[in-house]
Amino acid sequence: MLKLDRVTKRFFPGTINERIALDEVSLTLNEGDFVTVIGSNGAGKSTMLNVISGRYPTDGGKVVIDGRDVTKAPEHKRATWVARVFQDPMAGTSPHLTIEENLAIAFRRGQGRGLGMAVTRSGREVYRKALRTLELGLEDRLQMRVGMLSGGQRQALSLLMATYAKPSILLLDEHTAALDPSRAELITRLTGEAVARNHLTALMVTHNMHQAIELGNRLIMMHEGRIVLEVDEEAKKSITADQLLQEFSKIKGASLSDRTLLD
């Protein structure tokens, strides 16, 4: 489970360009929650994920995962509990390593890395079985370098690498935004399946309203570093994209072109 307690993040503090990216944001995810996050550019969505993953240090507040205060823990340490899939399909995998080597790294997340062989015969069986869930035929290409895969294939692999060694929190940062529609749909479906299969607690940033409604049991909307709208499980079942847009316009207090929100 995840708890953000009045987390604040400033960029360029003390300069004329100072900007508050997160303004005392508090959020609690219970076990099994899958929360989708929407909001316009610069609302602080990605910053929130980067603060949770430890990529950015906080300027105030606490980050608690599984009852453990990890506010000061470095990025690689937090990886024990936090897994990520990035927007850039190239970011989550290592291009010059083979598929099986990438998986060997991911499947040992949170464990020690010693001088045993990274890829073993029994490991290969595990990788094959896990790759079959992607339905991309990658299970027959274990020794292929990841750099030769397409963006969609790499993103599917990233998703598997993030979800296999069951993290306490899964962070998805617009992870389908850089893909063509059919691939985006596949990754969206695989995401839902992986979260359900492993009973993961997840936080997903998206620009796609329909994706935000389709996936997850809760929804939050961010604006200027704050959470401005929370939709709970009951309400989310019946909410529509139009209603969300109306809510957003109301909050922003100005007319809003749906282009900024809708893909």
Q: Between residues 106 and 179, which has the closer beta carbon with respect to other proteins?
A: 106
Site for other proteins in 161-190 (CB under 8 A): 161
First to last CA, the chain: 31
Angle, vertex CA 257, rays to CA 251 and CA 261, nearest 5:
75
Site for other proteins in 107-146 (CB under 8 A): 108-110, 113-119, 140-141, 143-145
Using CB under 8 A as the binding rule, whether residue 92 contacts other proteins is answered as yes
Site for other proteins in 68-87 (CB under 8 A): 74-77, 79-80, 83-84, 86
44: Cα within 13 Å, side-chain hemisphere: 26
Q: Between residues 128 and 223, which has the closer beta carbon with respect to other proteins?
A: 128
Token code pair at residue 246: 């109306």
Interacting residue with other proteins among 52, 106, 194, 220 (CB under 8 A): 106
CB atoms within 10 A of CB 31: 11
Using CB under 8 A as the binding rule, whether residue 61 contacts other proteins is answered as no
167: Cα within 13 Å, side-chain hemisphere: 29
Using CB under 8 A as the binding rule, whether residue 7 contacts other proteins is answered as no
Q: How many residues lie near other proteins (CB under 8 A)?
A: 40
Interacting residue with other proteins among 12, 15, 96, 234 (CB under 8 A): 96
Interacting residue with other proteins among 97, 136, 228, 239 (CB under 8 A): 97
Residues 198, 163 contacting (CB under 8 angstroms): yes
H-helix or E-strand containing 123? helix 121-132
Q: Between residues 165 and 241, which has the closer beta carbon with respect to other proteins?
A: 165
**Residue whose tokens read 């993030």:** 162
Token code pair at residue 227: 């959470």
Residues 256, 226 contacting (CB under 8 angstroms): no
Nearest-approach distance from CB 76 to other proteins, in angstroms? 5
- Cα–Cα distances in angstroms (integers) from residue 230 to residues 80, 107, 190, in the given order: 28, 34, 25
Using CB under 8 A as the binding rule, whether residue 256 contacts other proteins is answered as no
The binding site for other proteins (CB under 8 A) comprises: 53, 74-77, 79-80, 83-84, 86, 90-97, 101-102, 104-106, 108-110, 113-119, 140-141, 143-145, 148, 161
